[in-house]
Structure 1
Amino acid sequence: MMTTSPAAATAVQTSPRRPEVLGQVARLVELEESTVEQMRAEALEAPARGVVAYGEYQSGGWWTTSLLNHSGDPHDVVIGDGRPRPTSLLDEMPATARFLDSLGLDFMYVRLARLEPHSYLWEHRDYAELRDTGRHRLHIPLVTNPSAVLVTAGARVHMAAGALWRLTPSQAHGVCNTTGPDRLHLIADVYADDAYQTLAARPHLRDGDATDLPEMTEAERDGLLERAGQLAELGFAGAAEQTLLRAFYTYALPEGGAYDLIAELHTARGRDGDAHRWREAKAHLLARP
């Protein structure tokens, strides 16, 4: 079900930020096309689109359904430590169940995650609410498109289908799907053990996987704040905030920089309560585990 290629391991992305990006997201192994196709078909035929969870992290359009969790209910999607069991949905996905079993990993949670077009997961960290146990997150893209990207370490990364990827979610990151169609990933949270270390022995990026984001100039920053201010003055405060949040996907901002811009916007308008709310959101969304 998995293949490895020496060429893939050496075809790395050449970029000033590549070492940092590689530490946060990387290909681990290539997957057999037939295996991905079978899992894709099962995921697309799943009877439930999913449920909304972690609403504070997103613009809307992020849906998840569990395949392995602690209750067996596929609509139970808030992850937590412990030994999971198959949900009723995984019982209907035999090819996916065989693939997961073939990995020989110690699973914590497994989900299907769908991100609709024009949707964003705002900059955040994961695992802050979990106990200090070694764990890792694996992504298997099943349906994707070039506009569906992960942003981390000042770079935009397209997680292409056909590979098993590792993400370090305890580092600040965000996801967007700007044009569509839907992005559909199988996401597995696993505990650190010998099987995982073997699987993750050759992390790499191919040319084209990662693209550096440009730094924001002072003129661009001033123009962005001006446009957001105009929207806010017209009564569209939510649209103004989202305009600034989306800057994270366009520019290499310092950590939490989009939240700082929103706080600055509200402070300039004399909305100290709103500015404080966004400073608190920054602290919450970027809390370290």
Structure 2
Amino acid sequence: MSEYGQHQSGGWWTLSLLNDTGTPTDVTIKDCDPVETTLLRRMPATRKFLSSLGLRYMWVRLARLEPNSFLWEHRDYSELDGTEHQRLHLPLVTNSSSALVTGGARVHMAGGYLWRLNPTHVHGACNLLGPDRIHLVMDCYADDGLARLTENETLNESEVERLPAATQPQMDEWRRTAENLMRLGYHDTAERYLLRLFYSHTLPDGQVYDLIVSLYESLGRDAEAAQWRATKPVLLGTT
């Protein structure tokens, strides 16, 4: 199922293995005591693996990100209760052009490892060239089981690509390029041109959305500017 349409470029698909209803196509995450979906019942090896980790799960999904697809800059869990949650990724199919971007760094989540993410930090994901990136994504509650699993976690600095900081002249030039694309009628291309800057440069949180708002304001397109102004706090979880 494709879900969270505002958060993505298209090409992001998920099916649930553990959720609140047992139906695989229910993929909107919420706090719950999950049950097995009909899909997980047909996957005995995956069921055994999930059980072996000793975690208290909130939600578990299979997630596919197609080539030339993006999860735009966003923050998760803002709609959940105050309980601490963590997210684990197990790459099943991956490639070197796919990456998680957070805190001004790109990290390729290589196969053979469990990767932990705190999604309350601003982040995004991309799969530039393909093939499909497929991950087992486990949202779980922070407890002793998670602490035991992650007590020896490490991150090799060689796996982290630090992104260059964007300068004001660069941002001015990027906005001019987007404006030229917009005047030629390539509206979606102009928006995506600016959205993709998150994956190549270190920018303040939400700066790409501010650039899009500024772009539409400069063209006198107040409705589109207002739409993106309203979208920014939704994606960044500040509503």
TM-score, L = length of structure 2:
0.97
Matched, 1:141 2:63: no
Which AA in structure 2 matches 1:208?
S
User: What SS class does the counterpart of residue 108 from structure 1 fall into?
Assistant: strand
Aligned to 1:86: 36
Identity %, equivalent residues: 53
Partner of 2:77: 127
Residues in 2 aligned to 1:138 and 1:146: alpha-carbon distance in whole angstroms: 19
Which of 105, 120, 131 is matched with 1:155 structurally? 105
What per-residue deviation string (whole Å, max 9, x for no partner) do you get for residues 151-209 of structure 1? 10000111111001100001100000010000000001111111111112123212431
Whole-Å separation in 1 of the counterparts to 2:147 and 2:76: 21
Give structure 1 regions of 4+ aligned residues with deviation exceeding 4 angstroms. Answer: none
Among 229, 234, 238, the alignment partner of 1:279 is: 229
Moved more, 232-241 or 247-256: 232-241
In the TM superposition, what are the counterparts of 1:92-241 in structure 2 within 5 Å? 92-241=42-191
The superposition leaves residues 244-286 of structure 1 with CA deviations (integer Å, 9 ceiling, x where unpaired) of 0001101101100110110111111111221121111111110
- Tell me, in whole angstroms, the C-alpha distance in 2 between the residues paired with 1:152 and 1:185: 18
C-alpha offsets along residues 60-103 of structure 1, whole Å, 9 cap, x if unaligned?
00000000111111111111111111111111111111110001
Distance in structure 1 (CA, Å) of the matches to 2:106 and 2:53: 28
Alignment counterpart, residue 2 of structure 2, candidates 46, 52, 60: 52
Equivalents in 2 of 1:207, 1:152: separation in Å? 14
Aligned match for 2:199, one of 219, 231, 249? 249
1:170 and 1:288 in contact (8 A); partners too: no
Which segments of 5 or more consecutive residues in structure 2 lack a partner in the other structure?
Answer: none
- Between the aligned partners of 1:102 and 1:55, the Cα distance in structure 2 is 33
* Bigger shift: residues 205-214 or 144-153: 205-214
The 1-side partners of 2:237 and 2:43 are apart by 35
How many pairs does the alignment contain? 239
1:220 maps to a residue whose letter is Q
CA distance in 2 between partners of 1:219 and 1:133 (Å):
42
In the alignment, which of 241, 250, 259 is matched to residue 209 of structure 2?
A: 259
SS of equivalent to 2:24: coil
TM-score of the superposed pair, with normalisation by structure 1:
0.80
Larger RCO (CA within 8 A; separation ≥ 6): 1
Question: What secondary structure does 2:46 align onto?
Answer: helix
- Provide the rounded CA distance (Å) in 2 between the counterparts of 1:226 and 1:134: 42
Residue 227 of structure 1, CA deviation: 1.4
CA contact (8 A) 1:122 1:174 kept: yes
Q: Contact 1:105–1:190 (CA<8 Å) still a contact in 2?
A: yes
Inter-partner Cα distance in structure 2 for 1:190 and 1:64: 17
Q: Aligned partners of 1:282, 1:112: CA distance in 2, in Å?
A: 27
Deviations 1:98-136 (A, max 9, x none): 110001111111000000000000000001111111211
Deviations 1:199-233 (A, max 9, x none): 12123212431110011233322221121111111
Show the counterpart of 1:66.
Answer: 16
